[in-house]
Structure 1
Amino acid sequence: MASGKHVPCGPCRYDDVTKDAKRWCTNCEEGLCEDCENDHRKCKISRTHKAISIEDYRKIENVSISQVCNHHIEKLEWFCKTHDEVLCMVCVPLKHKACFGVIPIRAASTNARQSTALSDLEEAIEGTLRNVKQCIMNRESASKDIDKQELAIKTTIIETRTKINGHLDKMQEKLLRDLRSTSHTCKSKYSNLFRKLESKKEMLTKLREQTQHMKQFSSDIQVFLGTRQVNQQIRSEVRSIKTVIGATKDYELKVAIHSLIEKLSNEVEDFGQINVSECARKLAFRDPKIDQAQIEINVPTLRNISDVKLQLIKTFKIQRNAEIFIVGCATLPNGHLLIANSKENQLIEYSDTGEHIRDIPVSGMPFGITVIDSNRVGVTYSDMEFLEITNNNTFNVEKKISLQNSCCGISIEDRRLYVISGDSTIQVLDLSGRQLDTLNMPSNSVLHITTGRDRIFYTDYDKNILHCCSLKGYNSDNITIIQQDGKDSKTLLTKSDGLYNPTAVYYDKEKRTLLICNYKGEVALYKVD
């Protein structure tokens, strides 16, 4: 094949003449100038050859199709229909001498453009491309989730730092207040001593002056008597001064920093630690139709519903003073049970042993619950035109997705949310809230939905119809399982088992548990064997 900007004419180049080709012969695989194309078309052996424009040739220039046998380096001229193999003239007598379906490759390639094999190939390419695009979207969404997680962690770090700073500021101010108070007390004691000593000083100064004056101006008798009287007074003052001085204390202010504060500054080297939890993510990839005649396909054996049995794990009653109405439920990854109580605009969390954990206020009348991953759940509201994605530990809202109508049932499959919203429609959304598709339903009396690997299951409460296959139990006192092909069914639970008007059913495929709630708040958890 030629390469570069210009395609040379093959026959002219054979005569050592360089001319640009105007056409390309796909049979001869060489370019043709205008004159050579005319000769090519006139020649009996090549008049049936297909010539295309150089522009069209550029589109297949890099498509490598070998017409030579890999084993014998001979031209491929024959096709064995028995073995679906193209052959050269050497292959035929060596391995296909006894085959009856050996025909010329020219005959086998007739109408190749309309062949099923080509259609299957195109479908396989399109299907694989769709798979790859879906995987790319999935990874882009996962990458965006990392950005959100990074922002959330950053916010947590900053909030923690702010909280610590605020707490340290408060402790510092308290310690400074204690310092000021203690310092004032010590200085007050010093001041009291100063005042006492100053008073003694003034009194002694005055006695000294009086004694000097007495010495200079008084009579001998007065000096004699005055000396003894002042001596008595001096002895008394000396005892008083010794008493005051004997009680004198020195004060030294020191600070003892709390040991945890010392450890924080000296031993704690990290503010925290960023951990990454890894879990295998099986991206959906539907195998395209490629070489089906040559590939043995292992079809999984369907489990017969007659073998399915339920083993009761726990039953309990939700205790409430007010009226309760249960419409949705789910099993969280940690095994806890999450129940939607639309009467009180709350989610109720229970352990799988029936212990009440907490009531979680939500934005409206909760209806549907779906577990998105190990950290998040999706919640719909029958009185609101939005759904929320919340953290299943803190139940803080991480994402609010607006819809044009109020919503009921919700399910997730391959990181896509399937939401019943609006009359007779299922809205398909990605986790960012972008609408991917709108699916029409044959009825507007559908409230509940769930999804499988390649199917959607929903119930029509007005017509008592289960579309596709799933567990159901609406407007009856039965739980029924239906064979995957829809041809058989089996009633698992009835009123005799204590089942009464079930309004919410959730099957945990990982734990193989079945959670059933009725509108009065009675809960039952079963193990599916």
Structure 2
Amino acid sequence: MVLNENTTTTEDSFTQAQTPVKYNLPVSVALRLKFNIKKTANENLYISSCIKTGNTLVFTEQINDRLIIYNSDGTDIYHIPLSYTPGYITEIDSNTVAVSYGYHRIVLIINISTRSVTSTINTSRHCYGISYNDNNLYVVIERSIIDVMDLTGKVIHTIPVPTDDINDITVDRDRLVCIDDTSIYCCSLDGKVMWKFKNDEFQDLTSVTTDDEGNVYVTDVKKDIVVVVSDDGRHHRELLTQSDGLDKPWGIYFDKKENILLVCNDCDAFLFDVKKR
């Protein structure tokens, strides 16, 4: 799919980062693979989050309380049953993930190779979006703060967030990107807002990821789209829509090594090759 070159800048709806950066939005995406995760017509699934680690795809599935593991060619490997309903997921290493469990106030560290929970971290309050960076977990607590903790659960420090309704977060390099239902916030690692992106067209943002150049990708579950925003917050595009097969997309993950974007509906998964300028 070739993207429309006529992008829109929303000068009044974001705070510009102090240091200008080049305009480097992706210009095209190409579908590599689409597959249905549902095994039978009567099976009900709800995929809420996803990651790609190497050639392995990991999905959190909420109706049946489990992780679903696939090969990147779309073949099923196995499921990992869980005692709680999983929320958001982040990669720690090629064999290990961390999963937040909202109202249960815990984060589980899970080895996806041995299919075992290796440790349980208790959080102070309900936990939501989660990201791993530089040996630390960044966990959204009660949608209103971010606790930075080591893998034992020791809280190193707490980061304030610009709104009390944060859903998801991703941390990369020296930036923290978080979203609420309508806005994207790019912050320094101490919580200072570098820029904010808001557009009245987007009202139900659900998950966020970034590529290796800092561009931000978000799913909008109500509009059935993926939006990409440039790394300075100045430009945006609807990268994927219903015409690409999206139907209430929730999970999203960018594989920076292979320039592959993973997106999932409640029971479908898509792998897109992202081509840069």
Same fold (TM over 0.5): yes
In the TM superposition, what whole-angstrom CA distance separates every residue of 1:364-388 from its partner, at most 9, and x where no partner exists?
A: 1111111111331111112311101
Q: CA deviation at 1:515?
A: 0.6
The answer on 1:312 being equivalent to 2:59 is: no
Distance in structure 2 (CA, Å) of the matches to 1:423 and 1:471: 20
Q: CA deviation at 1:349?
A: 0.8
Q: Percent identity?
A: 34
| Residue aligning to 2:127 | 407
Runs (5+) with no aligned partner, structure 1? 1-298
Distance in structure 2 (CA, Å) of the matches to 1:340 and 1:523: 12
Cα RMSD, aligned residues only: 1.9
Distance in structure 2 (CA, Å) of the matches to 1:383 and 1:364: 10
Which one of 248, 270, 275 corresponds to residue 524 of structure 1?
270
Check the 8 A contact 2:127/2:143 in 1, yes or no: no
1:9-408 counterparts in 2 under 5 A?
A: 302=22, 304-305=24-25, 307-320=26-39, 321-333=42-54, 335-408=55-128
Distance in structure 1 (CA, Å) of the matches to 2:126 and 2:87: 10
Distance in structure 2 (CA, Å) of the matches to 1:490 and 1:504: 18
| Residue aligning to 1:466 | 184
| Residue aligning to 1:193 | none
Three-state SS of the structure 2 residue aligned to 1:502 is coil
CA shift in 2, pair 1:487/1:301, >3 Å: closer
Which amino acid is the alignment partner of residue 379 of structure 1? V
Three-state SS of the structure 2 residue aligned to 1:496 is helix
Distance in structure 1 (CA, Å) of the matches to 2:27 and 2:89: 25
Q: CA deviation at 1:419?
A: 0.8
Distance in structure 1 (CA, Å) of the matches to 2:234 and 2:217: 14
Q: CA deviation at 1:493?
A: 0.8
CA shift in 2, pair 1:420/1:516, >3 Å: same
| Residue aligning to 1:443 | 163
The answer on 1:502 being equivalent to 2:249 is: yes
Distance in structure 2 (CA, Å) of the matches to 1:426 and 1:324: 29
| Residue aligning to 2:5 | none
Q: CA deviation at 1:404?
A: 1.5
Which amino acid is the alignment partner of residue 343 of structure 1? I
CA shift in 2, pair 1:435/1:401, >3 Å: same
Which one of 152, 157, 161 corresponds to residue 432 of structure 1?
152
Three-state SS of the structure 2 residue aligned to 1:366 is coil
Check the 8 A contact 1:381/1:408 in 2, yes or no: yes
In the TM superposition, what whole-angstrom CA distance separates every residue of 1:450-495 from its partner, at most 9, and x where no partner exists?
A: 111011111111xx11112621122322211111111111221111
Three-state SS of the structure 2 residue aligned to 1:408 is strand
Q: CA deviation at 1:395?
A: 2.3
Q: CA deviation at 1:504?
A: 0.7
In the TM superposition, what whole-angstrom CA distance separates every residue of 1:176-195 from its partner, at most 9, and x where no partner exists?
A: xxxxxxxxxxxxxxxxxxxx
Distance in structure 1 (CA, Å) of the matches to 2:162 and 2:126: 19
Check the 8 A contact 2:60/2:89 in 1, yes or no: yes
Check the 8 A contact 1:364/1:383 in 2, yes or no: no
Three-state SS of the structure 1 residue aligned to 2:97 is strand
Q: Which has the higher helix share?
A: 1
Higher relative CO (Cα under 8 Å, sequence separation at least 6) belongs to 2
Q: CA deviation at 1:303?
A: 5.7
In the TM superposition, what whole-angstrom CA distance separates every residue of 1:47-93 from its partner, at most 9, and x where no partner exists?
A: xxxxxxxxxxxxxxxxxxxxxxxxxxxxxxxxxxxxxxxxxxxxxxx
Which amino acid is the alignment partner of residue 319 of structure 1? K
TM-score, normalised by the number of residues in structure 2:
0.76
In the TM superposition, what whole-angstrom CA distance separates every residue of 1:109-143 from its partner, at most 9, and x where no partner exists?
A: xxxxxxxxxxxxxxxxxxxxxxxxxxxxxxxxxxx
Three-state SS of the structure 2 residue aligned to 1:473 is strand
| Residue aligning to 1:112 | none
Distance in structure 2 (CA, Å) of the matches to 1:476 and 1:452: 27
Q: CA deviation at 1:360?
A: 0.8
| Residue aligning to 1:482 | 229
Check the 8 A contact 2:143/2:167 in 1, yes or no: no
Distance in structure 1 (CA, Å) of the matches to 2:65 and 2:103: 10
Count of aligned positions: 226
Q: CA deviation at 1:300?
A: 11
Q: CA deviation at 1:437?
A: 1.4
In the TM superposition, what whole-angstrom CA distance separates every residue of 1:13-43 from its partner, at most 9, and x where no partner exists?
A: xxxxxxxxxxxxxxxxxxxxxxxxxxxxxxx
Distance in structure 2 (CA, Å) of the matches to 1:300 and 1:459: 22
Runs (5+) with no aligned partner, structure 2? 1-18, 187-214
Distance in structure 2 (CA, Å) of the matches to 1:484 and 1:345: 35
Distance in structure 1 (CA, Å) of the matches to 2:28 and 2:23: 12
Would you identify which runs of 4 or more consecutive aligned residues in structure 1 move more than 3 Å? 299-303
Q: CA deviation at 1:391?
A: 1.4
Q: Which has the higher strand share?
A: 2
| Residue aligning to 1:51 | none
